[in-house]
Amino acid sequence: METQLVLDLPHREDFSAARFIAGDSNAEARAALARWRDWPKGALALVGPPGTGKSHLGAMWREETGAAAPGRARLPAFLDAAPSGRPVLVEDADQGVDEMALFHLLNRAATGACPAVLLTAQTAPGRWPVATPDLASRLKALAVAELREPDDAMLRRLLEKLFRDRQAPVTDGLIDYLLPRMERSVAAARRLVEALDRTALARRTPVTRAVARSVLDGWREDGEGGDS
């Protein structure tokens, strides 16, 4: 059988409010973001495992509030430009950011010079490895909203969204087949959908149970997941 070349083409993830998957695992975070004008000291950390919706919620909050999102690397230059009147979103703030810039940004939020600051991260701010004592103190006192891994109902909707984002056709009953056999996390769901899509493209077929069985069996043999 001739091997089909699979092009690793980028797919566009839909971060619109209409495509957000609401559930118990993100209810706390959604409620906290809706009250952004009342955040203590004008700041909030949105914390959760990879893939649980931090970027999606951040994009929705930015759309609602008109927030600026300068990115971690540009934060010092952004503050030097002295923007006024706009909330600020800093994603992946636990992955390395200029400490003095972040400290001054949080100070602006605390004094009302900046309407609100939203930080996204995988870990709670009090655990970030910062060397500036004043910033460490600020971070330990920061309000936190947590995102958790999804339950079965939400995981089903997530799988549907991931296949839809990749425009990958699936056969009836596929998700019922996957749910009891896959690792129970958003990150695992993303890896699985990508592998299924690539395998189906190589076989020139929709994502079927046979495709899913092949991928999951291969992962078990390689020790990469499967039933949890």
Rounded Cα distance, 39 and 54, in Å: 18
pLDDT the model gives residue 18:
63
Compare 17 and 170 and report the one with higher pLDDT: 170
Task: Answer whether 141's CB lies under 8 Å from 41's CB.
Answer: yes
Task: Answer whether 176's CB lies under 8 Å from 149's CB.
Answer: no
23, 150, 11, 198: CA torsion to nearest 10: -140
- Name 71's Cβ contacts closer than 8 Å, sequence gap at least 6: 90, 91
Q: Has residue 181 got a pLDDT over 50? A: yes
Question: Hey, what domains does the chain have and what are their CATH numbers?
Answer: 22-146 (3.40.50.300), 150-222 (1.10.8.60)
How sure is the predictor about 151, in pLDDT bands with cuts at 50, 70 and 90?
A: confident
* pLDDT tens digits, 44-64: 999 998 878 899 999 999 999
Rounded Cα distance, 52 and 150, in Å: 8
pTM of the entire structure?
A: 0.75
Which of these, 99, 96, 104, lies nearest to 88 by C-alpha position?
104
Average pLDDT estimate for 73-90: 87
Q: Has residue 25 got a pLDDT over 90? A: no
How sure is the predictor about 179, in pLDDT bands with cuts at 50, 70 and 90?
A: very high
Rounded Cα distance, 46 and 33, in Å: 9
Average pLDDT estimate for 152-170: 91
How far is C-alpha 196 from the geometric centre of its chain's CA atoms? 21
Rounded Cα distance, 216 and 4, in Å: 20
pLDDT the model gives residue 228:
37
Q: Has residue 222 got a pLDDT over 90? A: no
Rounded Cα distance, 224 and 216, in Å: 9
Q: Has residue 7 got a pLDDT over 60? A: no
What single string gives the DSSP state of each residue in 76-129?
Answer: HHHHHT---S--EEETTGGG---HHHHHHHHHHHHHTSSS-EEEEESS-GGGS-
pLDDT the model gives residue 8:
47
* pLDDT tens digits, 123-150: 999 999 999 999 999 999 999 999 988 8
